[in-house]
Amino acid sequence: MSVNAPLDIAILGAGAIGQLFAKALSRDHQVTVITRKPSTKAWLYEWQTEISTQTIKNATFATLVPSSLRFVLVCVKAYQLPEALAQLRPYLHPAASIVISHNGMSDLSAFSATLTPQHKLYFATTSQGAYLKGPQHVVHRGVGRTWLGAITSAAQSRCPLVDACLTSIVDAHWHHNIAQIRWQKLFVNIAINPLTARDQVCNGQLRAPKYATTVIGLLNEAVHLAALEGYRCVLADALNQAYLVMQQTAANRSSMLQDISLGRQTEITAICGYIVALGKKHHYPTPFNAKLLTEIEALSQV
């Protein structure tokens, strides 16, 4: 298959990021978004002053043919991932390429164990600032970088789906060590998501001096534990990156703030909860992450 040939790409998950990727990829490819309920309504996209509508093909699992999906992006929340992957598995083509993207950390080993040597599994991290304003209304608030990289050894060589993402998604790049990049993205989410959600502020407002001690405390714990897990990282770099994303996505409401505002489950377990769990494993105290974990869990139950 030529790198430039249009692909049939399925996207599982119609959240803000799934829809941003769908819109970007649909310029050159046939995109189908898999949702729980069928929909033919056009999506409304707001990108700064530009507003456009687009109808992207929609399917539900009930309408799909088993073993038919060759190129798949999975853009669901970390806590939805195990169920989503179990549902998706029978519909994967024997040589499917799959890109998973979500905030926080997840264990992909159970899913990887079900794959054949022909399957290729990748991960994408993104710092795009986007949110759903209404049921089919995406607002893109800031360009952030997207990194793609291999999870399984079969995916060490790139594939047409990855090339399509690298070409169509703005500021998207390949990285040979996506695990390291996932840690860097985790640092950004640890610094931004819980505080914006707790205090109901936009990302840029966290640059105020009153947040500095907490941001440093959260990242100090995370960087220390990342090092204990074998990932090279420096606190100054994690802080620089977090403050850069606060600036680049200043007007954005973080995904966790949106979740709390809409009464949805948050990704706190895969973000601060991940650090707290690692702290227990390594007998390293994590008071900053534990406090935010408790506070966000309490808010989710209101």
Looking at 185, 210, 280, 281, which residue is catalytic? Answer: 185
**Helix or strand or coil: residue 292?**
helix
Under 8 Å between Cβ of 191 and 218: yes
Please, what is the angle between helix 212-228 and helix 287-300, to 10°? 110
Candidate residues 255, 266, 269, 286; the one interacting with ligand KPL per rule CB under 6 A: 255
Q: Is residue 128 within 8 Å of residue 17, measured between CB atoms?
A: yes
Of residues 129 and 160, the one with the C-beta less far from ligand KPL: 129
Among the listed ranges 3-11, 72-80, 81-89, 185-193, the one in contact with ligand KPL (CB under 6 A) is 185-193
Q: Do residues 54 and 43 make contact, with C-beta atoms less than 8 angstroms apart?
A: yes
* 204 part of the interface to ligand KPL, by CB under 6 A: no
The answer to whether 203 contacts ligand KPL (rule: CB under 6 A) is yes
CB 75 to ligand KPL: min, Å: 12
* C-alpha distance from residue 147 to each of 112, 150, 292 (Å): 20, 10, 27
Minimum CB distance to ligand KPL, residue 294 (Å) = 20
Give me the least distance between CB of 51 and ligand KPL, in Å please.
Answer: 21
184 part of the interface to ligand KPL, by CB under 6 A: no
**Torsion of the alpha carbons at 287, 292, 298 and 300, rounded to the nearest 10:** -150
Residue 241 touches ligand KPL, criterion: CB under 6 A:
no
Tell me the C-alpha distance between 149 and 185, whole Å: 13
Closer to ligand KPL at the Cβ: 151 or 188? 188
Is 185 in the active site?
yes
- d(CA 268, CA 295) in angstroms, rounded, equals 10
Is 266 a binding residue for ligand KPL by CB under 6 A? The answer is no
The least distance separating ligand KPL from the CB of residue 237, rounded to whole angstroms, comes to 16
- Residue from 19, 58, 106, 249 that binds ligand KPL (CB under 6 A)? 249
Beta strands in 128-287 (DSSP E): 129-134, 137-142, 146-150, 172-174
| Residue from 252, 266, 269, 286 in contact with ligand KPL (CB under 6 A) | 252
What gap in Å lies between CA 255 and CA 130, rounded to an integer?
A: 8
Q: State the minimum distance, in angstroms, from the CB of residue 274 to ligand KPL.
A: 14
Report in angstroms how near the CB of residue 127 gets to ligand KPL at its nearest.
4
Q: Which two tokens stand for residue 8?
A: 């049939």
Which of these segments, 42-50, 91-99, 106-114, 188-196, binds ligand KPL (CB under 6 A)? 188-196
What gap in Å lies between CA 195 and CA 198, rounded to an integer? Answer: 5
User: Interface with ligand KPL includes 269 (CB under 6 A)?
Assistant: no
List residues bridging with 123 in a β-sheet.
100, 149
223: left (phi over 0), alpha (psi -120 to 50) or beta: alpha
**Which residues are part of the catalytic machinery?**
185
Interface residue list for ligand KPL (CB under 6 A): 103, 127, 129, 144, 188-189, 192-193, 203, 245, 249, 252, 254-255
